[in-house]
Chains A and B, each alone.
Chain A
Amino acid sequence: MTSNAVLARLVGVRKAYGAVRALDGIDLEVRAGELLALLGPNGAGKSTAITMLLGLLRPDAGRAELFGQDPQRLAARRGIGVMLQQAELPPTLKVGELVRLASSYYPAPRTLEETAALAGVADLLARPYGKLSGGQQRRVQFALAICGRPRLLFLDEPSTGLDIGARQALWAAIRALVAQGNAVVLTTHYLEEAEALADRVCVLARGAVVSEGSVDALRARIARKRVQCATRLPLAEVAAWPDVAEAGVTHGRLWLATAQPEAVVRRLLERDPALAALEVRAAGLAEAFTELTRDAAAADQREAA
Chain B
Amino acid sequence: MDTTVLGTVPPCMPRPRLARAYLAEARSECLRYLRNPGFLLPTLLFPAVFYLMFALVLPHGNDPDVPRYLLASYATFGVMAPGLFGFGMSLAVERDNGLLTLKRALPMPPAAYLLGKMAMALGVAAVVVGLLEALAVGVGHVALGPEQALRLAVVAVCGSLPFCALGLLAGTFLKGEAAPAAINAVYLPMAFLSGLWVPMAMLPRVLRDLAPVWPSWHLNQLALAALGFDGGAGWPHVLVLAGVTLAAAWLAARRLRRHG
In the assembly, what is the distance between CA of A4 and CA of B36, in Å? Answer: 48
A107 touches B97 (CB 8 A): no
B24 touches A101 (CB 8 A): yes
Q: Which of A18-60 contact B (CB under 8 A)?
A: 29, 32, 54-57
**Which chain A residues border B28 with CB–CB below 8 Å?**
90, 93, 97-98, 101
Chain B proximity mask over A54-82: 1 for CB below 8 Å, otherwise 0: 11110000000101110000111111111
B107 touches A106 (CB 8 A): yes
* Closest Cβ neighbor of A76 among chain B residues: B9
B11 touches A107 (CB 8 A): yes
A233 interface residue (CB < 8 Å to B): no
Q: If the complex has contacts A56-B104, A107-B17, are A79 and B35 also in contact, measured as CB distance less than 8 A?
A: no
**Which chain A residues border B97 with CB–CB below 8 Å?**
86-88
From the candidates A80, A85, A92, A102, name the one contacting B36 in the complex (CB within 8 A).
A92
In the assembly, what is the distance between CA of A6 and CA of B23, in Å? Answer: 34
In the assembly, what is the distance between CA of A5 and CA of B7, in Å? Answer: 5
B99 touches A89 (CB 8 A): yes
B4 interface residue (CB < 8 Å to A): yes
In the assembly, what is the distance between CA of A29 and CA of B36, in Å? Answer: 44
In the assembly, what is the distance between CA of A152 and CA of B25, in Å? Answer: 24
Q: Which of A134-172 contact B (CB under 8 A)?
A: 144, 148, 151-152, 154
In the assembly, what is the distance between CA of A104 and CA of B108, in Å? Answer: 8
B5 touches A5 (CB 8 A): yes
A67 touches B4 (CB 8 A): no
**Which of A6, A107, A154 is the most central at the interface, judged by chain B CB atoms within 10 Å of its CB?**
A107
A7 interface residue (CB < 8 Å to B): yes
Q: How large is the interface on B (under 10, 10 to 19, 20 to 34, 35 or more residues)?
A: 20 to 34
A104 touches B105 (CB 8 A): no
In the assembly, what is the distance between CA of A32 and CA of B21, in Å? Answer: 27
A107 touches B14 (CB 8 A): yes
Least distance between B11 CB and chain A CB atoms (Å): 5
B31 touches A97 (CB 8 A): yes
A148 touches B101 (CB 8 A): no
Chain B proximity mask over A94-134: 1 for CB below 8 Å, otherwise 0: 00011011101111100000000000000000001000000
**Which chain B residues border A82 with CB–CB below 8 Å?**
102, 105-106
Least distance between B2 CB and chain A CB atoms (Å): 10
A67 touches B8 (CB 8 A): yes
A67 touches B10 (CB 8 A): yes
A107 touches B12 (CB 8 A): yes
In the assembly, what is the distance between CA of A105 and CA of B111, in Å? Answer: 12
B98 touches A6 (CB 8 A): no
Least distance between A132 CB and chain B CB atoms (Å): 15
A77 touches B12 (CB 8 A): no
B109 interface residue (CB < 8 Å to A): yes
Least distance between A128 CB and chain B CB atoms (Å): 8
In the assembly, what is the distance between CA of A82 and CA of B104, in Å? Answer: 10
A56 touches B6 (CB 8 A): no
A210 interface residue (CB < 8 Å to B): no
B32 interface residue (CB < 8 Å to A): yes
B260 interface residue (CB < 8 Å to A): yes
Least distance between A183 CB and chain B CB atoms (Å): 8
B60 interface residue (CB < 8 Å to A): no
**Which chain B residues border A8 with CB–CB below 8 Å?**
7
Q: If the complex has contacts A74-B107, A75-B12, A101-B28, are A88 and B7 also in contact, measured as CB distance less than 8 A?
A: no
From the candidates A77, A148, A151, name the one contacting B105 in the complex (CB within 8 A).
A77
In the assembly, what is the distance between CA of A67 and CA of B104, in Å? Answer: 18
In the assembly, what is the distance between CA of A151 and CA of B177, in Å? Answer: 37
Q: If the complex has contacts A75-B12, A84-B105, A90-B99, are A151 and B31 also in contact, measured as CB distance less than 8 A?
A: no
**Which chain B residues border A78 with CB–CB below 8 Å?**
10-13, 107
**Which chain B residues border A151 with CB–CB below 8 Å?**
7, 10
12 contacting pairs across A/B (C-beta < 8 A): A5-B6, A57-B260, A67-B7, A75-B10, A76-B10, A79-B7, A79-B9, A93-B28, A97-B28, A97-B31, A104-B25, A106-B107
**4 further interface pairs, Cβ-Cβ under 8 Å (given A68-B6, A86-B98):** A3-B5, A67-B9, A74-B107, A107-B10
- Interface of B with A (CB < 8 Å)? 4-14, 17, 20-21, 23-25, 28, 31-32, 35-36, 97-99, 101-102, 104-109, 260
Give the top 3 A-B pairs by smallest Cβ distance, nearest first.
A79-B10, A104-B24, A87-B98
